[in-house]
Chains A and B, each alone.
Chain A
């Protein structure tokens, strides 16, 4: 399983200024749905707030380009939920509209000041493909965690985003992490870094291992505290997570007053070269690929996130959001597909499972919605790393069965609560 190890860094981060049409969904991880605060036809400046919500955990959204609002509509985001969108056409001309920089030491600032600034500057969890609920929240009523972990490595093979960000601006990542620690009130700050980058950070570090899924947040958090989410409950009280890019954004938001306008993304074609680019939020996938001389054609598979836990996209015109860590293209010939067949009991999934789940029995129950039985086989221990589906001899879509069962379980729980 050589493929499942993380590769060394490829290049410097390329800036891709972008111009033309941007699509910005008004939904982001950790925030309630935002309200657009611009109208169709309005002129917007670079950095102007275009979406906001008054709930205390919601980070605002800003226009990455100077231009005109073309449309307000709804679309399915690449994380798979329907959300309102703002469509902007413009270019990167002009200065970025910034907030007032704050220069006091982190120790002198109050948690509230930092929190408000992060919210106003749009610092919501960056990366994680929009689905990691373990990220630190800015809710003031939440109990402060014991540890704030800064993940300076990427969860999956192929992805290189976080390590590049750390290499580019280590001092900003450290500064931002300190500010974020202040905002959430964590007692300890831990940097999770890969072995070749330990010299870039200071303070408490956790060296992450080379092999998937040992950089999975759940596994890293368990390594840190000795406890898994199942025993700790959700949200966890012992450890919260942000990644290097979020920390850097926090630093820029406080020290420079600069809102989050771009996202760093690893872009590549399977089997070919990948590069790390920084693009304005809302840039369309097709544009990002075009810049690399790539094009999605009929039968290809385009996915955001990593190759094991990512999300396949149906529309090459989808936008890059704050959650997009990776963007990859698999050419038609190499696309692997699952089959709707029976489990033959080869036991490979049982061997590979990092959580020691009897995956063969569990997924057989998941497939047919037998949630109680699936729970007896430790459905709730699963961290959805996807390794079982990777090794499955029958080529069953095991991760889908698991996600389906978890959703059904969630629905049943909601029904029970409302009854």
Chain B
């Protein structure tokens, strides 16, 4: 009689169904409408950046994993998600080589040299963005990058606020990304996507809410300082909340699993600090367009330290 060959494994034999691939693909799916609005505004310019970004991120991941001799994990979608997020942070019309440099920096410098997903201390997307923003500031300026695309004029939301043109940034245009800016400017859609992620428990909601809280507090405390001196206009906090990638930051960048803490209190502090720092940089800093990015990156450095704030385990009185 032939013997059965059974599957043997350790317990538990049930699983909730959570997975890295599931999280990546859900995140990308809810970002699709945002990308679609970007493509509607900037046509092929946005499409090219999106495609090139996702493609080169995946290429960088595969190449690097081959070189290191690790299994190629393109299937988990994390490289593609990094590419998509990076593209949404870039203005349409940036030169192709800038996109490639940014993507390779994100995946190789931001992620793979530390050992890939799970090991990188900083959010890979943000590392890539910062690299090209600091190195090629002019090309990354939305106003410049978009100059050769037709039918667009004006200032990006944050530049307008800095100049004191409060009336140039009506809330409904900020919501739908009608002002010039990065491809992922349709922040109302980002918010809706983010809420879907919260409902599906894909992201750390404590970080997201903490981040929004930090941004709001910054807004209330010193938001109006963003306007030029002597201006007696006031800034609508909602405009601040929906402009300059705050929503992307709150729901897609700050809760990055690896670079954010995991303890409840630590997550709140992390999100809150990142939001507040983002506002400080936006209002007072030189890289005001990257307030959210720099805010999150800097607080990520403190993430391992924050994770030390944890409750006593049961039984350990």
Contact = CB atoms under 8 A, between A and B. Distances in A.
A344 B12 contact: no
Contact of B314 (A298, A309, A314, A354): A354
Contacts of B12: 307-309, 386-387, 389-390, 399
A138 to B, nearest CB: 27
A395 interface: yes
A347 B257 contact: yes
B316 A381 contact: yes
B262 A395 contact: no
Interface residues of B, number: 42
Given A231-B315, A300-B6, A312-B9, A344 B16 contact: no
What 9 A-B pairs have minimum CB-CB distances, sorted nearest first?
A228-B315, A347-B262, A230-B315, A342-B118, A378-B313, A381-B313, A400-B10, A386-B12, A308-B12
A12 to B, nearest CB: 27
Contacts of A351: 264
Contacts of B153: none
A348 interface: yes
- Grouping DSSP codes into helix (H, G, I), strand (E, B) and loop, the B interface class, with mixed when no group exceeds half, is loop
Interface in A292-312: 296-303, 305, 307-312
Contacts of B260: 345
Interface residues of A, number: 66
A364 B316 CA distance: 21
Given A296-B4, A358-B310, A381-B314, A312 B118 contact: no
Interface of B: 4-16, 18-20, 23, 115-119, 201, 204, 257-264, 267, 307, 310-317
Contacts of A381: 313-316
A106 interface: no
Given A228-B314, A336-B15, A347-B262, 6 more contacts: A314-B8, A346-B18, A389-B11, A389-B15, A390-B15, A395-B15
B257 A346 contact: yes
A338 B10 contact: yes
A394 to B, nearest CB: 6
A305 B116 CA distance: 37
A307 B117 contact: no
Interface string A378-400: 10010000110111111101011
Contacts of B261: 347
A300 B9 CA distance: 11
15 contacts: A231-B315, A297-B4, A299-B5, A313-B8, A336-B14, A341-B118, A342-B119, A344-B118, A346-B18, A346-B23, A350-B262, A351-B264, A390-B14, A393-B18, A395-B19
